[in-house]
Amino acid sequence: MKADPKRVLTGNHFMNGNHAAAEGAIAAGCTFAAGYPITPSTEIVESLAARFPKVGGMFVQMEDEIASSICLQGGVWSGRKAMTVTSGPGFSLMMEHIGLAAITETPCVFINVQRTGPSTGLPTKVGQADMMQARFGSHGDYGIIALAPSSPQECFDMTIDCFNLAEEYRTVVFLMSDEMTGHMLEKVVIPEANTIDLVERKFYTGTDKYLPYKPEANGIPLMSKAGMGHNYHITGLTHDERGYPVLTQEVQEVMMERLMGKIKNNVDKLTRVEEFMMEDADIVLVSYGISFRMAYRAMEMAREKGIKVGLLKMITCWPFPEKVITELAKKVKSMIMVELNYGQMYIEMDRFANAHCQTHLVGSACGEVHEPETILNQILEAAKK
Amino acid sequence: MAEKKSKKKDPKEWRIEIDAERCKGCGFCVEFCPKNTLAMSDDFNSKGYHPPMVADPESCTYCDMCEMICPEFAIFAVSEKNKKDTHFSDDALRMDRMPHIWCPGCGIGTVVNALTQALEAAEIPRDKTQIVSGIGCTGRVAGYMDMDSYHTTHGRAIPFATGLSLGAPDQKIVVVSGDGDLTAIGGNHFFHAARRNANMTVICVNNFIYGMTGGQTAPTTPQTAIGITTPYGAFDQPFNLPFIAESCGAVYVARWTIYHVRHLQNAIKAALLKPGFSLVEVIAPCPTLYGRRNKLGDGLDLVKFYKEAAVRVKKGQTTADAAIGYQSEFLVGKFVDRDRPSLTDAMDASLKAKLGDAYAGWPIPG
């Protein structure tokens, strides 16, 4: 299905990443958003509050992020595409409902415009230190998908991707943006609606009793929505195909294998990376989101010095592009993760690379993006070895 | 509200049926039968409970009290002529999930009866009803109702229901949860949904304690009552739920006990038909953790006490008078019945007024 022209602001715009993400959500067919104000994410819901009433959508400001993160799931079961938007402390408050969405297989999008933590930290400064929280923040095992935009254009494009992936896999999808990408003003090209592909929800239309958790051949069950007459039961308890709670290890295992498998069995399909100057590289920078831009400059500076540096940009951070990393590691001398934290995606990169090459981290306490020179120094260091 | 007299049944057409296997021997039916038709039998069912028996069939007027108050759906009037051969809640419940998890003498099953009968009386079809629960004993209600149902997270039934009610304004949203779930961990949401006048009926089963977790003190536990986290008696002031609901903006507020099950049904019906945020508080027994620890007897003893302690709200009395002390008298009845625009109506009116033709409305997804 293609996007609805009434919802797509086709044209060239000069807008920040947060506004672009809001336009992406509208173009993707999102008609429901719940949120609570928090810097530096708020422009997204401000945008939605202004735009939604004109395009058949609704934004509701809830009493806190806990409420927002479950209110949106009520919106999803009413048959709508829904999302919430937050940052830092708000993201922490939402964690329980990531787990609820995971176990109930409620397709929904969470945008986290990351700031500096821990706790209140630096509320108006950039960070990328919620990457592990996005993956593992709620209790128990589950799989999620996370994309990281590094420009306002990608905020638009990837928000649409997030909604499409959420519907396809019936899972939580995160757009792991950051303060600087969110507030950066750049050219954003919004294409014609008929060039934007949307994944629509697949509802059960059979005549037999609807089994809300009976998987199709692809491992993903068909959905229902309020009032279809299916009389379904949705629960955060361990459940069988009927959706009934069954509190046994056997049923837990069947449920978990499928929940984990939805992502695990599709890692290759989900993996999205971009490579730069990789042909002859023996040192590879790996980065994502805003840090990608600094890494790119550092790569250019190193190339000017004659050092063979390439750059791998992760678009999907979760599931982690493990095969790409391992294959690269076999070919190069060093891999350097560039990110605004003390080493989160680095842990994953190291796990899949260290059998084959050296691994390094250019981390940060957050608050500002890296100086390209800092990254360059690490490249020079790695080049010596 | 005057209690509606149920239509008189012709005794020649009806008889009382007892599904002994469903029974957990709470004794509610025998005790509260207005005609003393029933008695406990000496038989045991396979669970080891004594089911009731019809001791004096001639006396029965088929008032339905036993069928309404039975939390196990085990006793019911049947009539071939009237084509009724099961408990009247059966059709609205997932009977393949029975027996339910609630203890003998728990009142939650009775509340379920009041809800199924209220939905029927209000003529709200099952495919237009959404049941949302949080966590805990009462949180299990959603799972037993054979309609779209959601068993959410602890305390968050109301914000889930808010999203559902906004997203599906054609649906009747019913939240059924316990006092701890709705007013402690979920307190903030309770206040704000009432303030917004979000379209939902909240049925709060108040048994004065956290049941499923093992009898910890709740924000409704009366002062001096023993909970396992206040082993020397609760010392902080409990919530007066009708008062809070009214202050926050609820448009309909009532309180009954499970003994007053017909009043309860009528209150739920009125709440269901009221646009906006309505609260029906139900005082219910928790024999296992509240009754036992406080040496107040079993479920039947608690309900007998609540029957006597419940005093009808009189003219001039308000929700401010509705606080509940330990083993004290307390007010029951309808406290609030007023009108103001629901959240969806207020949103719609405001956007229409401000945006005119630019307002795209709020189409229900096809």
Residue-range definition of the domain harbouring residue A153: 5-195
Residue B226 CA: distances (Å) to CA of A312, B85, B216: 62, 43, 9
φ/ψ of residue A259, rounded to 5: -60, -45
- Residue A270 CA neighbour count, 13 Å, CB half: 27
Asked if B97 has any chain A CB less than 8 Å from its own CB, the reply is: yes
Task: State the smallest CA–CA distance between residue B97 and chain A in angstroms.
Answer: 8
Say yes or no: A45 and A172 in one domain: yes
Q: Given a cut of 90, is residue B7 above it in pLDDT? A: no
Q: How far is B350 from chain A (nearest CA, A)?
A: 11
The answer to whether residues A185 and A328 belong to one domain is no
Mean pLDDT within B193-222 = 97
Residue B233, pLDDT > 60, answer: yes
**What is this model's ipTM?**
0.97
In a domain, A214, yes or no: no
Residue B5 has pLDDT above 70, yes or no: no
Tell me chain A's radius of gyration from C-alpha atoms.
Answer: 21
Record: contact B164-A75, CB cut-off 8 A? yes
Yes or no, beta carbons of B192 and A67 under 8 Å apart: yes
Distance CA A307, CA A298 (A): 11
Paired residues of A310 in beta bridges: A284
Are A66 and A167 in the same domain? Answer: yes
What mean pLDDT is predicted for residues B331-335?
Answer: 98
For residue B136, pLDDT beyond 80: yes
- Give contacts of B153 with chain A, Cβ < 8 Å: 70, 96-97, 100, 236
Tell me which of A195, A211, A239 is where a domain ends: A195
- Among candidates B88, B115, B108, which has minimal Cα distance to B266? B115
Q: What is the pLDDT of residue B363?
A: 83
Q: What tokens were used for B117?
A: 């009968």
Same domain, A174 and A35: yes
Residues A34 and A121 both lie in one domain: yes
Assign A371 a pLDDT band (cuts: 50, 70, 90). Answer: very high
Query: Would you say residue A316 lies in a domain?
Result: yes
Our count of domains for chain A comes to: 2
Residue A184 and residue A90 in one domain? yes
pLDDT in tens, B255-303: 999 999 999 999 999 999 999 999 999 999 999 999 999 999 999 999 9
- Using the 3D structure, point to which of A195, A228, A261 is the last residue of a domain: A195
Task: Let me know if residue A241 belongs to a domain.
Answer: no
Q: Are residues A30 and A119 in the same domain?
A: yes
Instruction: Flag whether A211 is in a domain.
Output: no
- Report all structural domains of chain B as residue ranges with CATH numbers, in order of start: 15-88 (3.30.70.20), 103-344 (3.40.50.970)
Query: How many CB atoms lie under 10 A from the CB of residue B354?
Result: 10
Query: If you average pLDDT over residues A81-103, what whole number do you get?
Result: 98
Is residue A345 included in any domain, yes or no? yes
pLDDT band at B1 (very low <50, low <70, confident <90, very high): very low
CATH of the domain at A330: 3.40.50.920
Question: Do A66 and A190 fall into the same domain?
Answer: yes
> What share of chain B in percent tops pLDDT 70?
98
DSSP A119-156: TT-EEEEE--TTHHHHHH-SSS----EEE---SHHHHH
The pTM is what? 0.97
> Which pLDDT value is given to residue B2?
46
Q: Select from B148, B175, B182, B199 the residue whose CB has the most chain A CBs within 10 Å, as the one to mutate to test that interface.
A: B148
Taking an 8 Å cut-off on Cβ atoms, the answer to whether A225 and B365 are in contact is: yes
H/E stretch holding A338: strand A334-338
Q: Is residue A357 classed as helix, strand or coil in its secondary structure?
A: coil
Residue A287: is its pLDDT beyond 90?
A: yes
B163–A73: do the CB atoms touch at under 8 Å?
Answer: yes
**Percent of chain A topping pLDDT 70:** 100
Region A183-191 average pLDDT:
98
Residue A206: inside a domain: no
State whether A18 and A143 are in the same domain: yes
CATH number for the domain spanning A15: value is 3.40.50.970
Contact B222, B191 (CB under 8 A): no
Angle between helices A65-77 and B187-196 (to 10 degrees): 60
Instruction: Inform me whether the pLDDT recorded for A122 exceeds 70.
Output: yes
Pick from A88, A84, A89, A63: which is nearest to A74 by CA? A84
Token duo for residue B312: 């009808």
Split at pLDDT 50, 70, 90, the class of A253 is very high
Q: Which residues of B, range 302-361, sit inside 8 Å of A by Cβ? A: 347, 351, 355, 358-361
| CB within 8 Å: A97 and B161 | no
What's residue B8's pLDDT? 81
The three-point CA angle B181-A247-A254 to 5° equals: 125
Per-residue pLDDT of A128-147, as tens digits, reads: 999 999 999 999 999 999 99
Between B142, B159, B188, which is nearest A71 by CB? B159
The last residue of a domain, from among A195, A221, A245: A195
Q: How many other C-beta atoms lie within 10 A of the C-beta of residue B336?
A: 18
Same domain, A171 and A315: no
* CA distance linking residue A287 with residue B218, whole number of Å: 49
Give the pLDDT band (50/70/90) at residue B203. Answer: very high
| Distance in angstroms (rounded) separating the CA atoms of residues A370 and A32 | 36
Q: Verify that A21 and A166 share a domain, yes or no.
A: yes
What's residue B365's pLDDT?
76
A295 in the Ramachandran plot: left (φ > 0), alpha (ψ -120 to 50) or beta?
A: alpha
**A63: in domain:** yes
Q: Same domain, yes or no, for A171 and A280?
A: no
> Does A350 map to a domain?
yes
Q: What is the mean pLDDT of residues A292-313?
A: 98
Per-residue pLDDT, B254: 98
| First-residue to last-residue Cα distance in chain B | 40
Query: What is the SS3 string spanning chain B?
Result: CCCCCCCCCCCCCCEEEECHHHCCCCCHHHHHCCCCCEEECCCCCCCCCCCEEECCHHHCCCCCHHHHHCCCCCEEEEECCCCECCCCCHHHECHHHCCCCCCCCCCHHHHHHHHHHHHHHCCCCHHHEEEEECCCCHHHHHHHECCEEEECCCCCHHHHHHHHHHHCCCCEEEEEEEHHHHHHHCHHHHHHHHHHCCCEEEEEEECCEECCCCCEECCCCCCCCCECCECCCCCCCCCCHHHHHHHHCCCEEEEEEHHHHHHHHHHHHHHHCCCCEEEEEEECCCHHHHHCCCCCCCHHHHHHHHHHHEEECCCCCCHHHCCCCCCCCEEEEEEEECCCCCHHHHHHHHHHHHHHHHCCCCCCCC
More confident residue, B206 or B363: B206
Q: Does residue B6 have a pLDDT over 90? A: no
